[in-house]
Amino acid sequence: MDKLKKSIQQFDELPIRTRLMITFAGLLLILVIFELAWYGPTDSQTKTVKQQIDSTEKQIASTTQMLQELNKGIYNQRNNPKQTLLSSLDQQVDQIQSELEKRTRSLVRPQAMAGLLKEIIDNSKQLKLLSLEKQAPVPLYEPTADEDGTSQDAQVQMYRHPIVMIFEGGYADTQAFLKQLESMQQKVNFESFEFSVESYPKSKVTLVVSTYSLSRKWIGG
């Protein structure tokens, strides 16, 4: 007790500035001890929780981004221009094939037509084939355009395949040849017929016939 009184007496004898500094240092020490004893563990727990929250937020952001990309991919698949074009092409194919079946049910196939016509004339002793020429296939449908006016190159087409044949013979022989073509089980389309007498009784006949196909190219003879 005497020591405490003596210490207080010595403190009171110190200059005011020194006493203030000692008092401030003491309060600061108390605050430090209090923070270490109370706020230290609490602050550590707070930092741990904050780290966990940050980690969870990052996982949520990553998952959200993945879901957005997945949904975007599904949307793009549904609204992909190529997918839309493919559906349009499928409809065109169905429509054209249906029409083609009606038109070509009894028509000669393009790859067989030239050989068939030549064979018929060769079998006729009275007719002489002068020339037989395959013409460029003619598309039956006008190409459709997109909204921006550009043509769709991928559009499905059906083609008319014409053949121009010139042969020589008499009128009666020519008439018999035409009747033979008309009576064939597999038909050809008669597009034009030109008959001219070169030197009686011989005549020159120019006949254009055609058939149809989905293929632009001539196949076979």
Per-residue pLDDT, averaged over 10-19, amounts to 61
For the entire predicted model, the pTM comes to: 0.49
CA angle 176, 101, 82 (to 5 degrees): 140
- 38-66, pLDDT tens digit by residue? 545 544 544 554 555 455 455 545 655 66
Residue 125 has phi, psi (to 5 degrees) of: -75, -15
CA dihedral of residues 147, 149, 154, 157 (deg, nearest 10): 100
| Tokens coding 107 | 């028509």
The domain ranges of the chain are 1-79, 94-213
Per-residue pLDDT, averaged over 121-142, amounts to 84
Distance CA 107, CA 102 (A): 10
CATH code of domain 94-213: 3.30.70.60
Residue 166: what pLDDT?
92
Residue 113 predicted with pLDDT over 70: yes
Ramachandran quadrant class, 136 (left: phi over 0; alpha: psi -120 to 50; beta: rest): beta
Task: From 217, 198, 191, 63, select the one nearest 136 (Cα to Cα).
Answer: 217
